[in-house]
Amino acid sequence: MGTYILRRLLQMIPVIIGATFLIFTLVYALPGEPWEGRCGERPCPDSYIAKFKTEYNLDKPLLVQYALYLGKLVRGDLGTNFYGNTVVSELAVRYPTTITLAAIAVTVTIVIGISAGILSGIKRGSWIDSLVTVSTLVVISIPIFVIGSLAQFTVLKLDLNDYIPVTASAGTFHQLILPGFVLGSLSVAYVARLTRSNLAENLRADYVRTAKAKGLTRARTINVHTLRNSMIPVITFIGYDIGNLMGGAIVTERIFNINGIGGFIFNAINTSDGVSVVGAVTVLVLIYLLMNLIVDVLYGVLDPRISHD
Amino acid sequence: MTDHRPTEAVEAVDAVDGITGDDVLVADQTGAALPAAGGDGEPVRTLWSDAWREMRHRPLFWVALALILLVVTMAAFPSLFTARDPLYCQLSDSRLPPSAEHIFGTDTQGCDVYARTIYGARASVLVGVFTTLVCTLIGGFIGTVSAFYGGFLDTLLSRVGEIFFAIPTLLGGIVILYSLPNEPNSPFLLVVGKVVLALSVLGWPSLARIMRSSVLQVKPHDYVQAARALGASPWRIITSHILPNAVAPVTVVATINLGVYIAVEATLSFLGIGLQPPAISWGIAISEASGIGYITAAPHMLLFPSLFLSLTVLAFIMLGEVVRDALDPKLR
């Protein structure tokens, strides 16, 4: 167990270094002028270019540039945008909203996704199974921005917008409920399908047949012998999915006009505030990598087979 | 692994699965190596002919295929479906509801939504097909080479893949495309090429992983050893013995991913960073149609491009699932 966690931790270091190096090279070392598109909708003034060059050490060799950039990143310095605000301060105001949104989405995923998956996995081949399989396939095929707009449209058509707000500029919990459902919808579909297929596979396992032969009730075979091990991949999936949630949050926050990290990135893209785009996206990538690490470690805890290697 | 999930999250779970034992579909070993199993006049039964036998009875297969054919025809010959010029717009016709003249209505600029929806197929199909091609070729090659030669090369390639893999597609796509800005008059194919490049840079490792694990499963079989003992070159062993028996899982995932890439392209365009006007694309059309005011005033602007986009994505995912069900003997 200890060695497993240690090995995972050590494996993560080159990935983090590699991923940040990749982002750095793509942004600062590609041919062209990296300060382009960082000064709003106009060309950069010479003073800014000079400042930019010194800030990112663009006159030094690539590896030195990268090392200095990594040093800043470790100290939490994501750069200062053209408007003179540090990216960190911009993110600090906005992250509670995004966390609330993500928490609603994850809750929706766990509650609806797992129950739907269990129902259809137990009653494989029944109408409820077909309903879950077909509806999840449809949800998976509809891009999240279409789901979001359709949700707004439905709520407005049914005249329910007094109860279910369709915009969330203030970012209160009540306003974030509909966006949370939209953000979670794709994960709900995946979790339902994953739960279903794992459950169905485990229900065919030999030890389940043995349990049945011993005369255990169906409820007990399912609850004790299958559910727990069927949940392992589902829980790890939800952990990994946080990375996708953050991508989805950019879209969801744009549709519902939410002033969170996603909305910030969207506005930065459209006002050509490149420092903010790159800084904020880098943070999201790092959070995603960290989540992966936590999930990997958790996996070792959840699955006893891992502990012995 | 009886479930598809788009790129990184999918693969993350696959990676976890790798710990407990790989669950990728294993091809029957009835490919090139064991010709004519039944010698007495019985037709040769290969993995793919079995799959075909299975698939042709599934209505879903035909529905998916018909949808794909329709969209590809639309992308190749849009003028077959509409005589109208998608760039001909009259501001005085802004946001008209569907009528006999404009069957899907008009958008804010007064352009015909039907014509723009038809012409929008091209961008999506191009991005989807080319990204899939590039990812499959690069990923397939790297996966095969690392599994076949193993050792240091395998470790190196796997580690490099892990790094690219660690960046979520949408986030990475934003960073890459932000670094490759377009001029307002950039040619259409260049803009599409940038999106393909961004998605391919991030997409190849998922296919490399799958290819690697299926080649690893085929490699120890006797007929591969026999070919090696007979002095066949690595190239010959790979092309005529390993690949025919190892491509099934990659085919399935590549088909599903094609749909996923189309969805990601639309998402990037929706965010204003993939394709940009004046290019015509479903993502741009949906982006222009969303917003509370438009949704209530002109829902047709949102509905039709959304419907076409979703059906296209659905068709590829459905096709991939049907093929997987047909290839995976465990589900029968």
In this model, does residue A167 exceed pLDDT 70? yes
Do residue A145 and residue B8 have CB atoms under 8 angstroms apart?
no
**Residue B204 CB-density burial (10 A; 0-12 exposed, 13-18 middle, 19+ buried):** buried
Specify the higher pLDDT residue, B33 or A74: A74
In this model, does residue B311 exceed pLDDT 80? yes
Mean pLDDT for A41-57 is: 75
Specify the higher pLDDT residue, A139 or A278: A139
Do residue A250 and residue B271 have CB atoms under 8 angstroms apart?
yes
Do residue A269 and residue B302 have CB atoms under 8 angstroms apart?
no
Scanning the structure block, which residue is given the tokens 């012998």? A225
Scanning the structure block, which residue is given the tokens 């989540």? A291
Torsion angle of alpha carbons A9, A14, A16, A21, nearest 10°?
170
pLDDT at B3: 40
Encode pLDDT of A91-135 as tens digits: 888 888 999 999 999 999 999 999 999 999 888 888 999 999 889
Reported as a pLDDT band with limits 50, 70 and 90, residue A189 is: very high
Which of B20-34, B74-88, B132-146 bottoms out in mean pLDDT, i.e. has the lowest? B20-34
Reported as a pLDDT band with limits 50, 70 and 90, residue B328 is: confident
pLDDT at A34: 66
B267 touches chain A (CB under 8 A): yes
Write the residue in A15, A150, A244 that is nearest to B9 by C-beta.
A244
CA B110 – CA B190 distance, rounded (Å): 27
pLDDT at B258: 94
Q: Which residues of B touch A306 (CB under 8 A)?
A: 19
pLDDT at A307: 55
pLDDT at B152: 92
Q: Rounded to whole angstroms, what are the CA distances from A138 to A130, A145, A193?
A: 12, 14, 12
pLDDT at A180: 93
pLDDT at B196: 95
**What is chain B's mean pLDDT, rounded?**
81
- Enter the ipTM: 0.84
- The SS3 of residue B245 is helix
For chain B, domains (ranges, CATH) are 78-331 (1.10.3720.10)
pLDDT at B37: 44
pLDDT at A31: 59
pLDDT at B292: 74
Reported as a pLDDT band with limits 50, 70 and 90, residue B22 is: very low
pLDDT at B33: 42
Do residue A250 and residue B170 have CB atoms under 8 angstroms apart?
yes
CA B209 – CA B162 distance, rounded (Å): 9
Omega within 30 of 0 (cis) for the link into B278: yes
| Residue B321 distance to chain A (closest CA, Å) | 10
What percentage of chain A reaches a pLDDT higher than 90? 16
